[in-house]
Amino acid sequence: MSVDTILPAGEASSPPPLLAARNVAKSYGGVHALRDASIVLKAGEVHGLVGANGAGKSTLIKIIAGLVQPNHGQILIEGQPITIATPHRATQLGMNFIHQELAFIPGMTVLQNIMLGLPKKTRLGMIDWRAIARDVEPIAKRVGITAPLFASVKGLSTAENWLINICRALIQKARLIVMDEPTASLSASEAEKLFAIIEDLSKTGVAVLYVSHRLDEVLRLCASVSVFRDGRSVARIEKPDLTRAALVEAIVGGHVEHLAKTGEAAARNDVMLKVDGLTRLPRVKGVSFELHCGEVLGIGGLVGAGRSELARLIFGADRLLSGSMTLDGRAYAPASPHHAVKAGLGLVPEERRAEGLVLTKSVAFNLQISNLARIIRSPAFPLIDGRRRNALSLQTVRDLAIKTASIDTPVGRLSGGNQQKVVIGCWLFSRPQVLILDEPTRGVDIGARGEIHRLIRDLAARGMAVLVISSEPDELPDLCDRVLVMAEGRIVRELRGEALSRNTIIEASYAEAPAAGRS
Protein backbone atom coordinates (compact mmCIF):
# COMPACT_ATOMS: atom_id res chain seq x y z
CA MET A 1 0.00 0.00 0.00
CA SER A 2 1.27 3.48 -0.87
CA VAL A 3 1.28 5.78 2.13
CA ASP A 4 0.51 8.69 -0.21
CA THR A 5 -2.90 7.29 -1.03
CA ILE A 6 -5.80 7.63 1.37
CA LEU A 7 -8.27 4.79 1.41
CA PRO A 8 -11.48 5.42 -0.55
CA ALA A 9 -13.73 7.59 1.62
CA GLY A 10 -16.97 6.27 0.17
CA GLU A 11 -16.39 2.60 0.82
CA ALA A 12 -19.57 0.89 1.93
CA SER A 13 -19.54 -0.31 5.49
CA SER A 14 -22.07 -1.95 7.76
CA PRO A 15 -22.84 -0.25 10.03
CA PRO A 16 -21.70 3.14 8.66
CA PRO A 17 -18.74 4.83 10.38
CA LEU A 18 -19.47 6.71 13.57
CA LEU A 19 -17.77 9.82 12.13
CA ALA A 20 -16.59 10.67 8.65
CA ALA A 21 -15.10 13.95 7.44
CA ARG A 22 -15.03 14.19 3.65
CA ASN A 23 -12.85 16.59 1.66
CA VAL A 24 -12.95 19.32 4.30
CA ALA A 25 -11.28 22.67 3.56
CA LYS A 26 -10.80 25.78 5.68
CA SER A 27 -8.94 29.02 5.01
CA TYR A 28 -8.33 32.12 7.08
CA GLY A 29 -7.78 35.33 5.14
CA GLY A 30 -6.72 33.42 2.04
CA VAL A 31 -4.31 31.15 3.95
CA HIS A 32 -5.26 27.47 3.72
CA ALA A 33 -5.30 25.68 7.06
CA LEU A 34 -7.05 22.69 5.44
CA ARG A 35 -7.16 22.00 1.72
CA ASP A 36 -8.64 18.53 1.35
CA ALA A 37 -8.88 16.57 4.59
CA SER A 38 -10.74 13.33 5.18
CA ILE A 39 -10.94 11.01 8.16
CA VAL A 40 -13.10 8.01 9.10
CA LEU A 41 -13.69 6.60 12.61
CA LYS A 42 -15.64 3.49 13.49
CA ALA A 43 -17.42 2.89 16.80
CA GLY A 44 -15.02 1.42 19.34
CA GLU A 45 -11.94 2.26 17.25
CA VAL A 46 -8.81 3.96 18.55
CA HIS A 47 -7.73 6.00 15.55
CA GLY A 48 -4.52 8.03 15.38
CA LEU A 49 -4.12 11.47 13.81
CA VAL A 50 -0.54 12.53 13.11
CA GLY A 51 1.31 15.15 11.10
CA ALA A 52 3.97 17.81 11.43
CA ASN A 53 3.25 21.19 13.00
CA GLY A 54 0.81 23.12 10.83
CA ALA A 55 -0.44 20.03 8.99
CA GLY A 56 -4.07 20.89 9.79
CA LYS A 57 -4.85 18.51 12.67
CA SER A 58 -6.04 21.22 15.07
CA THR A 59 -8.18 22.89 12.41
CA LEU A 60 -10.04 19.66 11.65
CA ILE A 61 -10.65 19.09 15.36
CA LYS A 62 -12.05 22.62 15.71
CA ILE A 63 -14.43 21.94 12.81
CA ILE A 64 -15.62 18.65 14.34
CA ALA A 65 -16.03 20.44 17.69
CA GLY A 66 -18.21 23.15 16.14
CA LEU A 67 -15.73 25.93 16.93
CA VAL A 68 -15.22 26.91 13.28
CA GLN A 69 -17.11 26.18 10.08
CA PRO A 70 -15.48 24.65 6.99
CA ASN A 71 -15.42 26.46 3.64
CA HIS A 72 -16.49 23.24 1.99
CA GLY A 73 -16.61 19.52 2.64
CA GLN A 74 -18.91 17.30 4.65
CA ILE A 75 -19.17 15.87 8.17
CA LEU A 76 -21.23 12.70 8.53
CA ILE A 77 -22.41 11.01 11.73
CA GLU A 78 -23.40 7.38 11.15
CA GLY A 79 -23.75 8.13 7.45
CA GLN A 80 -25.93 11.23 7.84
CA PRO A 81 -24.61 14.68 6.77
CA ILE A 82 -24.46 16.96 9.80
CA THR A 83 -23.81 20.67 10.33
CA ILE A 84 -22.00 21.16 13.64
CA ALA A 85 -22.75 24.83 14.21
CA THR A 86 -21.75 25.04 17.88
CA PRO A 87 -19.79 23.10 20.52
CA HIS A 88 -23.13 22.35 22.19
CA ARG A 89 -24.27 20.61 19.01
CA ALA A 90 -21.07 18.51 19.00
CA THR A 91 -21.83 17.43 22.57
CA GLN A 92 -25.40 16.53 21.61
CA LEU A 93 -23.98 14.31 18.86
CA GLY A 94 -21.91 12.41 21.44
CA MET A 95 -18.50 13.99 20.87
CA ASN A 96 -16.18 15.13 23.64
CA PHE A 97 -12.83 16.89 23.38
CA ILE A 98 -10.02 16.72 25.94
CA HIS A 99 -7.28 19.23 25.19
CA GLN A 100 -3.76 19.63 26.55
CA GLU A 101 -5.01 22.56 28.64
CA LEU A 102 -7.39 20.59 30.82
CA ALA A 103 -10.72 22.08 31.87
CA PHE A 104 -10.84 22.15 35.66
CA ILE A 105 -11.18 24.74 38.45
CA PRO A 106 -8.67 24.33 41.32
CA GLY A 107 -10.99 25.81 43.97
CA MET A 108 -13.70 23.21 43.40
CA THR A 109 -14.13 19.59 44.44
CA VAL A 110 -13.52 16.56 42.25
CA LEU A 111 -17.29 16.09 41.84
CA GLN A 112 -17.89 19.75 40.95
CA ASN A 113 -15.18 19.57 38.31
CA ILE A 114 -16.61 16.38 36.85
CA MET A 115 -20.00 18.10 36.54
CA LEU A 116 -18.70 21.36 35.02
CA GLY A 117 -21.20 22.56 32.44
CA LEU A 118 -23.49 19.56 32.92
CA PRO A 119 -27.13 19.58 34.12
CA LYS A 120 -27.38 18.70 37.79
CA LYS A 121 -30.03 17.06 39.95
CA THR A 122 -31.78 19.40 42.35
CA ARG A 123 -33.83 18.98 45.52
CA LEU A 124 -36.00 21.75 46.87
CA GLY A 125 -34.37 24.16 44.45
CA MET A 126 -30.82 23.30 45.57
CA ILE A 127 -28.20 21.18 43.79
CA ASP A 128 -28.36 17.71 45.31
CA TRP A 129 -24.64 16.84 45.34
CA ARG A 130 -25.16 13.62 47.31
CA ALA A 131 -27.55 12.24 44.72
CA ILE A 132 -25.19 13.31 41.96
CA ALA A 133 -22.30 11.61 43.76
CA ARG A 134 -24.22 8.32 43.88
CA ASP A 135 -24.66 8.47 40.09
CA VAL A 136 -21.09 9.55 39.38
CA GLU A 137 -19.26 7.15 41.72
CA PRO A 138 -19.50 4.02 39.52
CA ILE A 139 -18.19 5.94 36.48
CA ALA A 140 -15.41 7.54 38.55
CA LYS A 141 -14.33 4.08 39.74
CA ARG A 142 -14.44 2.78 36.18
CA VAL A 143 -11.89 5.35 34.98
CA GLY A 144 -9.73 4.94 38.08
CA ILE A 145 -10.41 8.11 40.07
CA THR A 146 -9.21 7.34 43.60
CA ALA A 147 -9.58 10.81 45.15
CA PRO A 148 -12.78 11.31 47.21
CA LEU A 149 -15.46 13.03 45.14
CA PHE A 150 -15.93 15.75 47.76
CA ALA A 151 -12.20 16.47 48.07
CA SER A 152 -10.61 19.54 46.46
CA VAL A 153 -8.78 19.04 43.16
CA LYS A 154 -6.02 21.28 44.45
CA GLY A 155 -2.82 19.28 44.46
CA LEU A 156 -4.06 16.52 42.16
CA SER A 157 -1.65 15.38 39.45
CA THR A 158 -2.12 16.05 35.74
CA ALA A 159 -2.98 12.38 35.30
CA GLU A 160 -5.78 12.62 37.89
CA ASN A 161 -7.14 15.71 36.15
CA TRP A 162 -7.16 13.74 32.89
CA LEU A 163 -9.30 11.10 34.60
CA ILE A 164 -11.72 13.82 35.73
CA ASN A 165 -12.09 14.98 32.12
CA ILE A 166 -12.63 11.41 30.89
CA CYS A 167 -15.23 10.84 33.60
CA ARG A 168 -17.05 14.00 32.48
CA ALA A 169 -17.05 12.71 28.90
CA LEU A 170 -18.60 9.38 29.94
CA ILE A 171 -21.29 11.08 32.02
CA GLN A 172 -22.20 12.98 28.84
CA LYS A 173 -22.52 9.56 27.17
CA ALA A 174 -19.76 10.40 24.72
CA ARG A 175 -19.48 8.06 21.75
CA LEU A 176 -16.29 9.71 20.54
CA ILE A 177 -13.54 11.21 22.70
CA VAL A 178 -10.82 13.29 21.03
CA MET A 179 -7.57 13.32 23.03
CA ASP A 180 -4.98 15.94 22.09
CA GLU A 181 -1.42 15.04 23.19
CA PRO A 182 -2.75 13.17 26.24
CA THR A 183 0.62 12.05 27.64
CA ALA A 184 2.52 15.31 27.15
CA SER A 185 2.65 15.96 30.92
CA LEU A 186 2.34 12.42 32.25
CA SER A 187 4.96 10.15 33.75
CA ALA A 188 5.52 6.69 32.30
CA SER A 189 3.38 4.99 34.97
CA GLU A 190 0.59 7.56 34.59
CA ALA A 191 0.65 7.09 30.81
CA GLU A 192 0.30 3.33 31.26
CA LYS A 193 -2.86 3.85 33.33
CA LEU A 194 -4.26 6.13 30.62
CA PHE A 195 -3.50 3.53 27.93
CA ALA A 196 -5.42 0.91 29.92
CA ILE A 197 -8.43 3.24 30.18
CA ILE A 198 -8.32 3.95 26.43
CA GLU A 199 -8.27 0.22 25.69
CA ASP A 200 -11.21 -0.29 28.05
CA LEU A 201 -13.17 2.54 26.39
CA SER A 202 -12.58 0.92 23.01
CA LYS A 203 -13.93 -2.44 24.23
CA THR A 204 -17.16 -0.74 25.38
CA GLY A 205 -17.75 0.86 21.97
CA VAL A 206 -16.38 4.36 22.62
CA ALA A 207 -14.26 5.65 19.73
CA VAL A 208 -11.06 7.56 20.54
CA LEU A 209 -9.32 9.95 18.17
CA TYR A 210 -5.74 9.96 19.47
CA VAL A 211 -3.76 13.03 18.37
CA SER A 212 -0.08 12.74 19.25
CA HIS A 213 3.47 13.36 18.08
CA ARG A 214 4.62 10.27 20.00
CA LEU A 215 4.62 7.61 17.33
CA ASP A 216 5.40 4.74 19.72
CA GLU A 217 2.13 5.45 21.55
CA VAL A 218 0.21 5.74 18.27
CA LEU A 219 1.59 2.40 17.08
CA ARG A 220 0.74 0.71 20.37
CA LEU A 221 -2.82 1.99 20.75
CA CYS A 222 -4.22 2.61 17.29
CA ALA A 223 -5.76 0.15 14.84
CA SER A 224 -5.48 2.75 12.08
CA VAL A 225 -3.91 6.16 11.59
CA SER A 226 -4.66 9.16 9.38
CA VAL A 227 -1.68 11.28 8.32
CA PHE A 228 -2.05 14.97 7.48
CA ARG A 229 0.50 17.00 5.53
CA ASP A 230 0.18 20.62 4.38
CA GLY A 231 -3.55 20.70 5.09
CA ARG A 232 -4.32 17.47 3.26
CA SER A 233 -4.97 13.91 4.38
CA VAL A 234 -2.27 11.98 2.56
CA ALA A 235 -2.61 8.50 4.04
CA ARG A 236 -4.77 6.18 6.07
CA ILE A 237 -2.62 3.30 7.29
CA GLU A 238 -4.03 0.24 9.00
CA LYS A 239 -2.43 -2.74 10.67
CA PRO A 240 -0.40 -4.72 9.62
CA ASP A 241 1.02 -1.91 7.38
CA LEU A 242 1.17 0.40 10.39
CA THR A 243 4.89 0.92 11.17
CA ARG A 244 7.07 3.78 12.36
CA ALA A 245 8.80 3.92 8.95
CA ALA A 246 5.46 4.16 7.11
CA LEU A 247 4.23 6.94 9.40
CA VAL A 248 7.44 8.99 9.14
CA GLU A 249 7.50 8.59 5.36
CA ALA A 250 3.91 9.82 5.12
CA ILE A 251 4.49 12.73 7.50
CA VAL A 252 7.62 13.87 5.66
CA GLY A 253 6.35 13.17 2.14
CA GLY A 254 9.16 10.89 0.99
CA HIS A 255 11.90 8.56 2.09
CA VAL A 256 14.46 10.01 4.51
CA GLU A 257 17.68 8.15 5.21
CA HIS A 258 18.44 7.81 8.89
CA LEU A 259 21.14 10.28 9.85
CA ALA A 260 23.17 9.65 12.95
CA LYS A 261 23.86 12.52 15.30
CA THR A 262 27.20 14.01 14.27
CA GLY A 263 28.39 14.81 17.79
CA GLU A 264 30.44 17.93 18.48
CA ALA A 265 30.12 20.81 16.05
CA ALA A 266 33.12 21.56 13.89
CA ALA A 267 35.31 24.29 15.33
CA ARG A 268 34.51 27.65 13.74
CA ASN A 269 34.69 30.73 15.96
CA ASP A 270 35.08 31.15 19.68
CA VAL A 271 32.43 29.52 21.85
CA MET A 272 30.19 32.28 23.22
CA LEU A 273 27.61 30.18 25.11
CA LYS A 274 28.17 26.69 26.45
CA VAL A 275 25.23 24.76 27.90
CA ASP A 276 25.94 21.58 29.86
CA GLY A 277 23.23 19.21 31.08
CA LEU A 278 20.45 21.76 31.58
CA THR A 279 17.49 20.11 33.26
CA ARG A 280 14.11 21.32 34.45
CA LEU A 281 11.55 18.52 34.52
CA PRO A 282 9.38 17.58 32.82
CA ARG A 283 10.21 19.65 29.72
CA VAL A 284 14.04 19.92 29.61
CA LYS A 285 16.22 16.88 30.28
CA GLY A 286 20.01 17.10 30.16
CA VAL A 287 20.45 19.48 27.21
CA SER A 288 24.02 20.30 26.15
CA PHE A 289 25.36 22.33 23.21
CA GLU A 290 27.75 25.11 22.20
CA LEU A 291 26.88 28.35 20.43
CA HIS A 292 29.68 30.17 18.61
CA CYS A 293 30.31 33.83 17.85
CA GLY A 294 28.85 34.72 14.46
CA GLU A 295 26.76 31.54 14.29
CA VAL A 296 23.03 31.15 13.70
CA LEU A 297 22.11 27.96 15.54
CA GLY A 298 18.59 26.59 15.10
CA ILE A 299 16.55 24.61 17.58
CA GLY A 300 13.89 22.53 15.83
CA GLY A 301 11.33 20.00 16.94
CA LEU A 302 7.64 19.58 17.53
CA VAL A 303 5.45 21.71 19.75
CA GLY A 304 5.99 20.52 23.32
CA ALA A 305 9.53 19.28 22.69
CA GLY A 306 10.91 21.71 25.30
CA ARG A 307 12.41 24.39 23.04
CA SER A 308 10.77 27.46 24.59
CA GLU A 309 11.35 26.06 28.07
CA LEU A 310 15.05 25.73 27.20
CA ALA A 311 15.13 29.40 26.12
CA ARG A 312 13.55 30.45 29.42
CA LEU A 313 16.23 28.56 31.36
CA ILE A 314 19.04 30.20 29.41
CA PHE A 315 17.46 33.63 29.90
CA GLY A 316 16.95 33.18 33.64
CA ALA A 317 13.14 33.23 33.48
CA ASP A 318 12.99 29.75 35.09
CA ARG A 319 15.31 28.12 37.60
CA LEU A 320 17.45 25.12 36.75
CA LEU A 321 17.04 21.78 38.47
CA SER A 322 20.58 20.87 37.39
CA GLY A 323 23.21 21.73 34.81
CA SER A 324 25.51 24.66 34.18
CA MET A 325 26.38 27.32 31.60
CA THR A 326 29.33 29.48 30.62
CA LEU A 327 29.15 32.77 28.71
CA ASP A 328 32.27 33.92 26.88
CA GLY A 329 34.33 31.52 28.99
CA ARG A 330 32.95 32.66 32.36
CA ALA A 331 30.44 30.91 34.62
CA TYR A 332 26.92 32.07 33.83
CA ALA A 333 24.00 31.39 36.20
CA PRO A 334 21.29 34.05 35.76
CA ALA A 335 18.97 34.47 38.72
CA SER A 336 16.49 36.46 36.62
CA PRO A 337 16.03 37.95 33.13
CA HIS A 338 17.47 41.21 34.50
CA HIS A 339 20.73 39.41 35.32
CA ALA A 340 20.71 37.75 31.88
CA VAL A 341 20.39 41.12 30.13
CA LYS A 342 23.20 42.59 32.24
CA ALA A 343 25.37 39.59 31.33
CA GLY A 344 24.81 40.19 27.61
CA LEU A 345 21.74 38.16 26.53
CA GLY A 346 18.62 39.23 24.70
CA LEU A 347 15.38 37.32 24.12
CA VAL A 348 12.70 37.85 21.47
CA PRO A 349 9.85 35.82 23.04
CA GLU A 350 7.42 33.55 21.23
CA GLU A 351 4.40 35.59 22.36
CA ARG A 352 5.54 39.03 21.21
CA ARG A 353 2.23 40.76 21.94
CA ALA A 354 1.96 39.42 25.50
CA GLU A 355 5.65 39.22 26.50
CA GLY A 356 7.66 41.43 24.14
CA LEU A 357 5.63 44.60 23.65
CA VAL A 358 3.53 47.14 25.50
CA LEU A 359 0.87 47.49 22.82
CA THR A 360 -0.62 50.75 24.06
CA LYS A 361 2.78 52.47 24.16
CA SER A 362 4.59 54.09 21.24
CA VAL A 363 7.08 52.54 18.84
CA ALA A 364 9.81 54.65 20.45
CA PHE A 365 8.88 53.49 23.96
CA ASN A 366 9.05 49.82 22.92
CA LEU A 367 12.32 50.26 20.99
CA GLN A 368 14.06 51.80 24.01
CA ILE A 369 12.51 49.69 26.77
CA SER A 370 15.72 47.65 27.17
CA ASN A 371 18.05 50.59 26.52
CA LEU A 372 17.04 53.07 29.22
CA ALA A 373 20.59 53.35 30.55
CA ARG A 374 21.69 54.73 27.17
CA ILE A 375 19.03 57.45 26.91
CA ILE A 376 19.00 58.95 30.41
CA ARG A 377 20.73 62.30 30.88
CA SER A 378 23.04 61.04 33.64
CA PRO A 379 23.11 58.38 36.38
CA ALA A 380 22.68 61.12 38.97
CA PHE A 381 19.60 62.51 37.21
CA PRO A 382 17.84 59.53 35.59
CA LEU A 383 15.59 61.54 33.27
CA ILE A 384 15.00 60.50 29.67
CA ASP A 385 16.91 62.51 27.07
CA GLY A 386 14.07 63.05 24.58
CA ARG A 387 16.35 64.03 21.71
CA ARG A 388 18.56 61.00 22.09
CA ARG A 389 15.52 58.74 22.49
CA ASN A 390 14.00 60.06 19.27
CA ALA A 391 17.27 59.93 17.33
CA LEU A 392 17.98 56.31 18.30
CA SER A 393 14.38 55.29 17.60
CA LEU A 394 14.34 56.94 14.16
CA GLN A 395 17.66 55.29 13.31
CA THR A 396 16.27 51.86 14.24
CA VAL A 397 13.06 52.46 12.26
CA ARG A 398 15.18 53.30 9.19
CA ASP A 399 17.68 50.45 9.68
CA LEU A 400 14.95 47.83 10.05
CA ALA A 401 12.52 49.41 7.55
CA ILE A 402 9.77 49.45 10.18
CA LYS A 403 6.60 50.72 8.52
CA THR A 404 5.02 53.20 10.92
CA ALA A 405 3.50 56.66 10.51
CA SER A 406 5.58 57.94 13.41
CA ILE A 407 7.79 56.74 16.24
CA ASP A 408 4.97 57.96 18.50
CA THR A 409 2.42 55.59 16.92
CA PRO A 410 1.14 52.95 19.40
CA VAL A 411 2.91 49.73 18.50
CA GLY A 412 -0.39 47.84 18.68
CA ARG A 413 -1.44 49.53 15.42
CA LEU A 414 1.46 48.03 13.45
CA SER A 415 1.29 44.85 11.39
CA GLY A 416 2.59 41.62 12.89
CA GLY A 417 5.84 41.78 10.90
CA ASN A 418 6.55 45.35 11.95
CA GLN A 419 5.76 44.53 15.58
CA GLN A 420 8.32 41.73 15.40
CA LYS A 421 10.90 44.13 13.98
CA VAL A 422 10.27 46.44 16.94
CA VAL A 423 10.91 43.58 19.39
CA ILE A 424 14.18 42.74 17.60
CA GLY A 425 15.07 46.41 17.27
CA CYS A 426 14.90 47.00 21.01
CA TRP A 427 17.96 44.73 21.39
CA LEU A 428 20.11 46.31 18.67
CA PHE A 429 21.48 49.17 20.72
CA SER A 430 22.05 47.07 23.83
CA ARG A 431 24.29 44.89 21.61
CA PRO A 432 23.79 41.52 23.37
CA GLN A 433 26.48 38.91 22.92
CA VAL A 434 23.78 36.26 22.52
CA LEU A 435 20.35 36.86 21.00
CA ILE A 436 17.65 34.20 21.37
CA LEU A 437 14.70 34.42 18.97
CA ASP A 438 11.71 32.18 19.73
CA GLU A 439 9.48 31.74 16.64
CA PRO A 440 10.80 35.00 15.06
CA THR A 441 8.53 34.89 11.99
CA ARG A 442 5.31 33.43 13.42
CA GLY A 443 2.29 35.29 12.08
CA VAL A 444 4.19 37.55 9.66
CA ASP A 445 3.78 37.76 5.90
CA ILE A 446 6.32 36.37 3.46
CA GLY A 447 7.89 39.77 2.77
CA ALA A 448 8.46 40.53 6.46
CA ARG A 449 9.75 36.99 6.95
CA GLY A 450 12.51 37.56 4.38
CA GLU A 451 13.44 40.89 5.96
CA ILE A 452 13.67 39.32 9.43
CA HIS A 453 15.85 36.51 8.06
CA ARG A 454 18.20 39.03 6.45
CA LEU A 455 18.38 40.93 9.74
CA ILE A 456 19.27 37.76 11.67
CA ARG A 457 22.05 36.88 9.22
CA ASP A 458 23.36 40.46 9.41
CA LEU A 459 23.51 40.28 13.21
CA ALA A 460 25.52 37.06 12.98
CA ALA A 461 27.83 38.63 10.40
CA ARG A 462 28.63 41.31 12.96
CA GLY A 463 29.76 38.59 15.38
CA MET A 464 26.62 38.12 17.46
CA ALA A 465 25.78 34.55 18.53
CA VAL A 466 22.18 33.90 17.51
CA LEU A 467 19.90 31.08 18.68
CA VAL A 468 16.71 30.64 16.59
CA ILE A 469 13.85 28.46 17.81
CA SER A 470 11.27 27.53 15.20
CA SER A 471 8.55 24.91 14.79
CA GLU A 472 8.59 25.48 11.01
CA PRO A 473 11.04 23.00 9.44
CA ASP A 474 11.00 25.03 6.19
CA GLU A 475 12.47 28.04 7.99
CA LEU A 476 15.61 26.62 9.57
CA PRO A 477 17.66 25.10 6.68
CA ASP A 478 18.19 28.36 4.77
CA LEU A 479 18.63 30.49 7.89
CA CYS A 480 20.86 28.43 10.17
CA ASP A 481 24.42 27.13 10.10
CA ARG A 482 23.42 24.14 12.22
CA VAL A 483 20.15 22.82 13.62
CA LEU A 484 19.70 20.86 16.84
CA VAL A 485 16.44 18.89 16.92
CA MET A 486 14.69 18.37 20.25
CA ALA A 487 12.23 15.62 21.13
CA GLU A 488 10.71 15.07 24.56
CA GLY A 489 13.09 17.47 26.28
CA ARG A 490 16.31 16.15 24.74
CA ILE A 491 18.50 16.99 21.76
CA VAL A 492 18.18 13.93 19.55
CA ARG A 493 19.98 15.04 16.39
CA GLU A 494 22.45 17.63 15.09
CA LEU A 495 22.04 18.53 11.41
CA ARG A 496 24.24 20.62 9.13
CA GLY A 497 25.56 20.77 5.62
CA GLU A 498 23.88 18.42 3.16
CA ALA A 499 22.17 16.61 6.05
CA LEU A 500 20.21 19.77 6.92
CA SER A 501 16.83 19.95 5.17
CA ARG A 502 13.13 20.25 5.88
CA ASN A 503 12.66 16.50 5.63
CA THR A 504 15.57 15.58 7.90
CA ILE A 505 14.31 18.02 10.55
CA ILE A 506 10.84 16.47 10.48
CA GLU A 507 12.25 12.94 10.52
CA ALA A 508 14.48 13.77 13.48
CA SER A 509 11.55 15.39 15.32
CA TYR A 510 9.87 11.99 15.35
CA ALA A 511 13.03 10.18 16.44
CA GLU A 512 12.42 7.38 18.89
CA ALA A 513 12.91 8.72 22.39
CA PRO A 514 15.59 7.17 24.62
CA ALA A 515 14.40 4.56 27.09
CA ALA A 516 14.56 7.08 29.91
CA GLY A 517 12.76 9.66 27.83
CA ARG A 518 9.88 10.32 30.20
CA SER A 519 10.34 11.18 33.82
Mark which of 365, 396, 431 sits at the end of a domain.
431
Q: How confident is the model at residue 174 (pLDDT cuts 50, 70, 90)?
A: very high
Q: Is residue 46 part of a domain?
A: yes
Residue 8 lies in a domain: no
Residues 398 and 472 in one domain: no
280 and 323 in a single domain? The answer is: yes
Would you state the pLDDT for residue 265? 36
User: Is 84 found in the same domain as 30?
Assistant: yes
**Does 415 share its domain with 336?**
no
Residue 460 lies in a domain: yes
Lowest mean pLDDT among 241-250, 278-287, 354-363: 354-363
The whole-number pLDDT of residue 296 equals 95
Residues 99 and 25 in one domain: yes
Let me know whether 396 and 486 are in one domain: no
Tell me if 116 is assigned to some domain.
Answer: no
Residue 15: asked if its preceding bond is cis (omega within 30°), the reply is yes
Do 295 and 397 fall within a single domain? no
312-335 residue pLDDT tens: 999 999 999 999 999 999 999 999
Lowest mean pLDDT across 175-179, 195-199, 384-388, 401-405? 384-388
Together in a domain, 23 and 99: yes
- Domain final position from 189, 220, 252: 252
Helices 129-143 and 158-171: angle between axes, nearest 10 degrees: 110
Domain annotation covers residue 29 = yes
Q: CATH no. for residue 504? A: 3.40.50.300
473: burial class by Cβ within 10 Å (0-12, 13-18, 19+)?
Answer: buried
For residues 467 and 426, membership in a common domain is answered with: no
329: left (phi over 0), alpha (psi -120 to 50) or beta: left
- Whether 126 is covered by a domain: the verdict is no
At residue 267, the pLDDT reads 41
- The last residue of one of the domains, among 222, 252, 282, is 252
**What's the average model confidence in pLDDT over 423-433?**
82
Q: How many Å apart are CA 397 and CA 367, to the nearest integer? A: 9
Hey, CA dihedral for 468, 471, 477, 482, is it positive or negative?
Answer: positive
pLDDT of residue 441: 82
One domain for residues 339 and 468: yes
pLDDT level of residue 381 (50, 70, 90 thresholds): low
Does one domain contain both 92 and 207? yes
Over residues 408-437, the mean pLDDT reads 85
Q: 65 or 303, which is more confident?
A: 65
Q: Is the pLDDT of residue 259 over 50?
A: no
Tell me the mean pLDDT in the region 197-207: 93
Half-sphere exposure of 325 (CA within 13 A, CB side): 27
Answer whether 0.75 is exceeded by the pTM: no
pLDDT at position 144 is 85
Measure the CA–CA gap between 491 and 496, rounded to whole angstroms.
Answer: 14
- Asked if residue 116 has pLDDT above 90, the reply is no
Judgement on whether residues 336 and 358 belong to the same structural domain of the protein: no
How does DSSP classify residue 16? P
- Structural domain contains residue 259: no
Please report whether residue 149 resides in a domain.
no
Domains identified in the chain, total number: 3
- 8-43, pLDDT tens digit by residue? 444 444 689 999 999 999 987 777 889 999 999 999
> Which band of pLDDT confidence, cut at 50, 70 and 90, is reported for residue 373?
low
pLDDT tens digits for range 338-359: 999 999 999 988 877 777 888 8
Range of the domain at 357: 352-431
| pLDDT above 90: residue 418 | no
One-letter amino acid at 312 equals: R
